[in-house]
Amino acid sequence: MGSERRAAAACALALFAASFLARYPLARTWSALGVLDQHDVLFDADPVVFLRAFRDGDMRDRLWRTHPNVRNLANPPVRAAALLGRVVRPSSTDEQARGEAALLVAPAASGVTTAAVFLTLRLLGASLGGAALGAVVEMCSFSGLVFGSIPESYPLSGAALAAAFLLLADALRPGGRLRYVPWVLVASTAFGITVTNLGLVGIPLFFAASRALRSRLRAAAATAGLLLVSAALGVGELLALNAVYGERLPLRKIERTDPFLAARPLATAGSFPEAVVSTVLPDRPAVVTNEIGLRRDYPIKLMFTIEGGPQGVVSRLLRGLVVAGFLLLGALQLARLAGPGPPVLWAALGVLAFNFVLHSVYRGPDLLLYSMHWHAALAVVIGATALAPRRAATALLACAVAFNSVSVLLWMVRTLRAMA
């Protein structure tokens, strides 16, 4: 390994550690406030459901249909980490050790996302400093901090999709090729986390196959074949690990109609831009009544949401212009890159379009909830601004994003403590 590769590997490891260490204290804060013990406090997320899956291996609600392998992927390493934790702290019970280990899952997945964005930018030609700067913007983005610090499927999805963009950049570099085994592993993992991720991974896979096979028709056939193999592998993993847990698939639950399923394209068209902007640079969210909190008599009776937030027209316009401006600058940098840039740009646009179409027919009350499904695509395009000779604007954006995210998170924590 050359000195340049060693430096990139060391930087990726440092960014992983920084991303993890930025989120783990926040995870403990949410846990101490009781946020992780109920539904819908943080933008309609359900950390209590996934905490049970990660910690106890307990699959409830509709997880089998939409997140078939999320327990199978998270619970075994959590149990292994808990065993190590009890060696260090013998006084803790097994449940306490597993609870502590479960809090590590989201920060670790977010660390993988940050490192993957950095390596993607490096493969696209960014310098070490430029790629690190782009990764810092991703690391400090609001959505990544919130959903990267709670037990949920979203940080795992974000890591899988960031890995897909890394594989795309690897296939596009000089001498790059389509790495079938890594693509199948990433796609099957993404499918097991959330079934619709298969389509999202398929977008960068198609552009990687197009470059490797030099034919869009052959690329489409290869993409379809690899996705089918990935889905089959995911189903095989589901059946095999469920057998280890001594469980069968609850087919009746899988067949139930989902209440989030309905055609709402106009509502999505109105709220999707704000969700994209708030992924990186939100205003203070609105505080509304937590309906499920009232029904189940949870301690916290509020929910944070960007839908119908208190921000005025000026705030929306300024934040929208900042995010749109950097997306445009990043897109121009990618478009100017001969070879790898345009396919990465088209893949990112395809991910955004896929999410828009999907959430026109499947959406909860707050679209920010799904932001980790387009987070990596945004991060790569915005991070591409660091490909420019002068990176002062990217550094300024990183500072602004970090300051804004910390300000909003501190306000949310103070609001929750005031309700305690």
Per-residue pLDDT tens digits for 160-202: 999 999 999 999 988 878 999 999 999 999 999 999 999 999 9
| Residue 104 domain flag | yes
| Residue 255 domain flag | no
| Residue 162 domain flag | no
Torsion of CA 75, 76, 79, 80, to 10 degrees: -150
**Residue 266: count of CB within 10 angstroms of its CB:** 9
What's the CA gap between 3 and 56, in Å, rounded?
44
With contact defined as beta carbons under 8 Å apart, do 140 and 405 qualify? yes
Separation in Å, CA 65 to CA 47, 95, 96, 173, 362: 17, 27, 29, 37, 14
What the block records as the tokens of 318 is 């300024």
The burial of 5, by beta-carbon neighbours within 10 Å (0-12 exposed, 13-18 middle, 19 or more buried), is given as: exposed
| Residue 227 domain flag | no
| Residue 223 domain flag | no
* Residue 88 pLDDT grade (very low, low, confident, very high; cuts 50, 70, 90): confident
| Residue 172 domain flag | no
Mean pLDDT estimate for the chain: 90
**Residue 235: count of CB within 10 angstroms of its CB:** 16
* Residue 263 pLDDT grade (very low, low, confident, very high; cuts 50, 70, 90): low
Q: Kindly state the percentage of the chain with pLDDT values over 90.
A: 64
| Residue 300 domain flag | yes
3-state DSSP: the chain helix, strand, coil percent, rounded to 5?
Answer: 75, 5, 25
User: Is the pLDDT confidence value at 254 over 60?
Assistant: no
Q: Residue type at 58? A: D
What's the CA gap between 345 and 355, in Å, rounded?
16
**Predicted structure pTM score:** 0.93
Q: What is the pLDDT of residue 290?
A: 83
Domain that holds residue 46: 3-152+262-419
What's the CA gap between 95 and 328, in Å, rounded?
48
> ∠ CA(189), CA(280), CA(203), 5° rounding?
35
| Residue 111 domain flag | yes
Total structural domains in the chain? 1
pLDDT, tens digit, 9 for 90 and up, residues 34-76: 999 998 899 989 999 999 999 988 887 567 788 999 999 999 9
Taking Cα atoms as reference points, which of 10, 38, 23, 34 lies closest to residue 118? 10
Q: What is the pLDDT of residue 217?
A: 93
Residue 61 CA, distance from chain mean position: 22
Torsion of CA 41, 45, 49, 54, to 10 degrees: -110
Beta strands in 6-46 (DSSP E): none
CA atoms within 13 A on the CB side of 27: 29
With contact defined as beta carbons under 8 Å apart, do 306 and 274 qualify? yes
User: Is the pLDDT confidence value at 340 over 60?
Assistant: yes
With contact defined as beta carbons under 8 Å apart, do 168 and 204 qualify? yes
Q: What is the pLDDT of residue 294?
A: 82
Q: Residue type at 16? A: F
**Token pair 């989201």 is at which residue?**
106
Taking Cα atoms as reference points, which of 420, 413, 404, 406 lies closest to residue 311? 404
pLDDT, tens digit, 9 for 90 and up, residues 352-374: 999 999 988 877 778 899 999 99
